[in-house]
Amino acid sequence: MTQPSRSLPSLFPVAAAPWMALACVAAWVLFGGALDQAQHGDNFEQFNWAHSLEWGYHKHPPLPTWLLGLWQRVWGESPSATLFVAGLCGLATGACTWLIGRALMGPRLAGIAVLLWGLHHAYSWKAQVLNHNTVMMTCIAACAFAAITALRTQGRASTLAWVGVGLAGGLALLAKYQSAIALAGILLALGHGGAWRQRRHVVGTVGAVLLALGLFAPHLVWLVQHDFITLKYASQSAQNLDLGDRLWRITVFLLLQARVMVALLACAGLWWLWQRLAQAGPLPADEVVVDTAVPRRSWLFGLVVFPLGTVLLVCLLGGVKLQDHWGFQPLQFISLLLAWQLRGVAAGGLGRLALLALVAHGALAATWSRPVWSAHSSQHASRTNQYFFPAQPLTDAVMADWRAVTSCPLRYVVGPPFEAGIVSVYSRTGAVVFENGAPAKSPWVDPVALASAGAVVIERDVPPAAPGAVKRGQADPARRGEVTHWAIVPPQRPCPP
């Protein structure tokens, strides 16, 4: 008897979905690392700050910088360090997202969710970026998974899970203040889902909150000691907008989020249409998780609807100008909500979704790498497309002037974080960046030591004011009219042996 042929949809096992999604994240990081001529400006901020492990920095709390600093202290300083740390964060976030989806909906819907999750802008186009969103989203995913685990287990396992909730929550606050909104969403899911009707979960929640606040407390002390410098930076978004402007900014923000999530949304829509044409039915009831300890509706609301709604209310009620990247965390679990909405056509067809996801990743990769294969690549290599800014040619020109003046090692670079960071990182000298020459931004720099050791002073567009400079240079390596100027201030003492 002839066996029926098996198609791609039936050959793709559910267990393969998370591995494929994680492999795509790793591929994006390696792809970016192989093609990058420079890196995103956020990466250079972490490089610049990682020269000193502080309890805070002038823009943000310290956790992402700590991770990079610790990595470099173990593995050595390298331009690829940010790629490794960002990649590990992405893989950890994907694993937790899969586990959350499996607990809320079952393995098949979790497979749909994680395949769509891999198309999230932060884990495809920006997978190689190490910034505070990257680390915050990892911590929030870990915190949510730990909370769900605490509800589904008993005894010591539940206690350890609540400790994990506190640790992940505290680390999330040390990554970015915006995490407070997502953590409030997790608390809302716990309360609305009835977890606090049991004394052990009340005790676990209180203990987790206290642990998180304990971890965050040293940063609060630092914040007071530094005159609330990070809050002053954040307050730059506050504006006195009228109601019409607020509604307009919310509309623009949502349209922008739809644009950066277009691959994810398009893939979900095309798969739904393909499944309908294939006459796929709803997922069988025995394949959908029903867990009264973890009510699905409460958690989907707390993880997706509440964070996004709160961010929009910040603009609507507070008149705060919404930043584009504020949508990354509220939408980090959007694939879970989409997977649940697609359950009506979810019987089989996981292979179709995998195929669509691969095609989408390919299209995104081709678009992202256009400066490499386009005949007009020079039009894309600029400070606005920082990945393809020619970092090494600029660094080589600066270092040639430095070595023409002195045989001493370069210890300091003074200037904007992007340009100064390029010279520090790509010269592989370990030179400390004195960001914009502002002590408040780089308080660990000793002006006396800097004057003694000499420095490269670099500036964009205009020659830098550099008293004592003996040589000046300029270059436009991207050939875009974006001239970078520098000056060499020689050491005031003999070179150390």
What is the per-residue pLDDT across 311-345, written as a single tens digit (0 to 9) for each?
999 989 888 888 889 999 999 999 999 999 999 99
- Dist. CA 28–CA 476, nearest whole Å: 29
Reply yes or no on whether the pLDDT at 376 is more than 70: no
What type of residue is 37? Q
**Per-residue confidence band for 2, with pLDDT thresholds at 50, 70 and 90:** very low
pTM: 0.95
**Per-residue confidence band for 482, with pLDDT thresholds at 50, 70 and 90:** confident
Tokens of 87: 């990649």
Residues 300-307 have a mean pLDDT of 98
DSSP percent split of the chain into helix, strand, coil, nearest 5 = 65, 5, 30
Tokens of 266: 């398009």
Is the CB of residue 16 less than 8 Å from the CB of residue 115? no
Tokens of 259: 């644009």
**Mapping DSSP to helix (H, G, I), strand (E, B) and coil, where does residue 27 land?**
helix
Q: What is the pLDDT of residue 286?
A: 82
Q: What is the pLDDT of residue 1?
A: 40
Handedness of CA 264, 269, 273, 276 (dihedral sign): positive
Reply yes or no on whether the pLDDT at 148 is more than 70: yes
Closest of 146, 37, 46 to residue 86, by C-alpha: 46
What type of residue is 379? Q
Cα 293 to Cα 113, 183, 232, 322, distances in angstroms: 21, 19, 42, 36
Cα 65 to Cα 81, 223, 276, distances in angstroms: 12, 16, 47
Residues 230-236 have a mean pLDDT of 86
Residues 478-485 have a mean pLDDT of 87
Span between the terminal Cα atoms of the chain, in Å: 84
Q: What is the pLDDT of residue 321?
A: 85
- Dist. CA 396–CA 422, nearest whole Å: 11
Listed range (114-128, 394-408, 471-485) with the worst mean pLDDT: 471-485
Q: What is the pLDDT of residue 237?
A: 65
Tokens of 238: 């506050």
Reply yes or no on whether the pLDDT at 380 is more than 90: no
- Dist. CA 89–CA 137, nearest whole Å: 8
Handedness of CA 213, 214, 219, 225 (dihedral sign): positive
**Per-residue confidence band for 4, with pLDDT thresholds at 50, 70 and 90:** very low
The sheet with strand 471-475 has its strands ordered as 432-435, 412-415, 455-460, 484-489, 471-475
Dihedral angle, C-alpha 324, 329, 330, 335, nearest 10 °? 110
- Dist. CA 409–CA 414, nearest whole Å: 15
What is the number of residues in the chain?
497
Q: What is the pLDDT of residue 9?
A: 47
- Dist. CA 207–CA 201, nearest whole Å: 10
**Per-residue confidence band for 5, with pLDDT thresholds at 50, 70 and 90:** very low
| Residue 284 burial class via C-beta count within 10 angstroms: exposed 0-12, middle 13-18, buried 19 and up | exposed
pLDDT in tens, 71-118: 999 999 999 999 999 999 999 999 999 999 999 999 999 999 999 999
Cα 200 to Cα 124, 197, 204, 312, 429, distances in angstroms: 40, 9, 6, 34, 54
Percent pLDDT > 90 in the chain is 84
Give the Cβ contact number of residue 92 at 10 Å.
17
Is the CB of residue 92 less than 8 Å from the CB of residue 137? no
Reply yes or no on whether the pLDDT at 6 is more than 50: no
Q: What is the pLDDT of residue 479?
A: 81
- Dist. CA 497–CA 482, nearest whole Å: 39
- Dist. CA 107–CA 98, nearest whole Å: 8
Give the Cβ contact number of residue 8 at 10 Å.
12
Cα 97 to Cα 22, 104, 137, 140, 196, distances in angstroms: 11, 11, 10, 10, 24
- Dist. CA 256–CA 263, nearest whole Å: 13
Average per-residue pLDDT for the chain: 93
Residues 57-73 have a mean pLDDT of 97
